Structure 1
Amino acid sequence: MSAAENQNRRLLRARDAMDRDYAQRLDLPALARLAHMSEGHFSRTFRATFGETPHHYLQRRRIERAMALLRDPRSAVTEVGLRVGFDSLGAFSRAFRAIVGVAPSQYRDRGLVARAPSCFVKAWLRPVGPGEKAVTATPATRISTPETAATGTATPETAATGTATPETLTTVTPATAARETA
Structure 2
Amino acid sequence: MTSPAADQRLRDLAILRRVRDRMDREYAHPLDVEALALGANMSAGHLSRRFKAAYGESPYSYLMTRRIERAMALLRGTDLSVTAVCFAVGCSSLGTFSTRFTELVGVPPSAYREQAVRIESAGLPSCVAKQVTRPVRNREAPLARPHLT
Match of 2:42 among 2, 25, 37: 37
Partner of 1:116: 125
Higher Cα Rg: structure 1 or 2? 1
Are 1:64 and 2:69 counterparts?
yes
Q: Number of matched residues?
A: 138
Identity %: 45
The whole-number CA distance in structure 2 between the counterparts of 1:73 and 1:21 is 20
The structure-2 alpha-carbon separation of the partners of 1:137 and 1:108, relative to structure 1 and needing over 3 Å to count, comes to farther
One-letter identity of the residue aligned with 2:79 = R
Give, in angstroms, the shift of residue 74 of structure 1. Answer: 2.5
Partner of 2:140: 132
Where does 1:27-106 land on structure 2 (aligned, <5 Å)?
27-72=32-77, 74-106=79-111
Q: Tell me the secondary structure at the aligned position of residue 75 of structure 1.
A: coil
The whole-number CA distance in structure 1 between the counterparts of 2:89 and 2:49 is 26
The structure-2 alpha-carbon separation of the partners of 1:6 and 1:27, relative to structure 1 and needing over 3 Å to count, comes to same
Structure 1, gaps ≥5 residues long: 140-182
One-letter identity of the residue aligned with 1:115 = L
Q: Tell me the secondary structure at the aligned position of residue 119 of structure 2.
A: coil
Q: Aligned Cα RMSD in Å?
A: 2.4
**Matched-pair contact (CA < 8 Å) for 1:96–1:104:** yes
Structure 2, gaps ≥5 residues long: 1-5
Match of 2:7 among 2, 21, 24: 2
Give, in angstroms, the shift of residue 75 of structure 1. Answer: 2.7
The whole-number CA distance in structure 1 between the counterparts of 2:70 and 2:145 is 18
The structure-2 alpha-carbon separation of the partners of 1:121 and 1:112, relative to structure 1 and needing over 3 Å to count, comes to closer
One-letter identity of the residue aligned with 1:99 = L
TM-score (ref. length: structure 2): 0.82
Give, in angstroms, the shift of residue 115 of structure 1. Answer: 3.3
Give, in angstroms, the shift of residue 117 of structure 1. Answer: 4.9
Q: Tell me the secondary structure at the aligned position of residue 128 of structure 1.
A: coil
TM-score (ref. length: structure 1): 0.68
- Structure 1 window deviating more from structure 2 (93-102 vs 7-16): it is 93-102
Match of 1:21 among 7, 22, 26: 26
- Structure 1 window deviating more from structure 2 (70-79 vs 41-50): it is 70-79
**Matched-pair contact (CA < 8 Å) for 1:107–1:137:** no
**Matched-pair contact (CA < 8 Å) for 1:19–1:61:** yes
Partner of 1:170: none
One-letter identity of the residue aligned with 1:27 = D
